[in-house]
């Protein structure tokens, strides 16, 4: 059983002391809640792993659909839909990419991705229906040639 809540908030405001300048806030707020299950708007597996890449370079390959990873309760995940993905880089540099022909469809190519450095994070909300991972479920995390640490969390439905 899993219930998940994802909230992404980006907020900016003009803090100019000029009284004629005016403050015009800009906000983007995405708030999604899923209930337990395996359909649209539902989730039933949460995966979290501490990332530790030794440098040199090192790659951590993850497949969300083949049953090779376990959820936070130790149960194997063979997901059908990926609902959300979050990667946080604590130290070093982590490249998040598809890495293979069977890579996640949210990447346009196997070798394209996002580079995160220490203190940076990325979160992707893949909608109520999620991203189909029955065939393209591969994700790779690469270090930048030196030791890198961080966290990955994914929300799926089987």
Task: Tell me the domain boundaries of the chain.
Answer: 45-157
**39-59 residue pLDDT tens:** 788 888 889 889 999 988 899
Taking 60 as the threshold, does the pLDDT of residue 23 lie above it? no
What one-character DSSP code corresponds to residue 107? Answer: S
45-157 — its CATH code? 2.60.120.10
More confident residue, 34 or 137: 137
More confident residue, 87 or 7: 87
Instruction: Indicate the average pLDDT of the chain.
Output: 84
Percentage, residues of the chain above pLDDT 70: 82
Query: Do residues 43 and 50 touch, judged by C-beta distance below 8 A?
Result: no
Torsion over CA of 95, 97, 101 and 106, rounded to 10 degrees? -170
Taking 90 as the threshold, does the pLDDT of residue 10 lie above it? no
131-139: average pLDDT: 91
Predicted pLDDT of residue 90:
96
Long-range contacts of 35-39 (CB under 8 A, 24+ apart): 35/3, 36/1, 36/2, 36/3, 37/157, 38/80, 38/157, 38/158, 39/157
Predicted pLDDT of residue 93:
96
Predicted pLDDT of residue 27:
66
Helix (H) or strand (E) holding 30: strand 26-36
């Amino acid at each position: 059983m899993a219930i998940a809540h994802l909230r992404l908030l980006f907020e900016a405001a003009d803090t100019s002391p000029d009284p004629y300048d005016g403050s015009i806030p800009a906000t983007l707020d995405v708030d999604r809640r899923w209930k337990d299950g395996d359909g649209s708007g539902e989730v039933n597996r949460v995966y979290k792993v501490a990332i530790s890449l030794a440098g040199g370079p090192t790659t951590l390959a993850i497949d969300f659909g083949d049953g090779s990873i376990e959820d936070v309760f130790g149960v194997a995940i063979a997901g059908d839909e990926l609902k959300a993905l979050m990667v946080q880089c604590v130290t070093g540099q982590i490249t998040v990419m598809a890495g293979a022909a069977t890579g996640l469809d949210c990447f346009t190519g196997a070798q394209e991705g996002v580079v995160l450095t220490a203190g940076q994070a990325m979160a992707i909300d893949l909608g109520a229906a999620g991203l189909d991972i029955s065939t393209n479920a591969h994700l790779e995390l690469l270090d930048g040639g030196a030791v890198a640490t961080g966290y990955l969390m994914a929300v799926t439905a089987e």
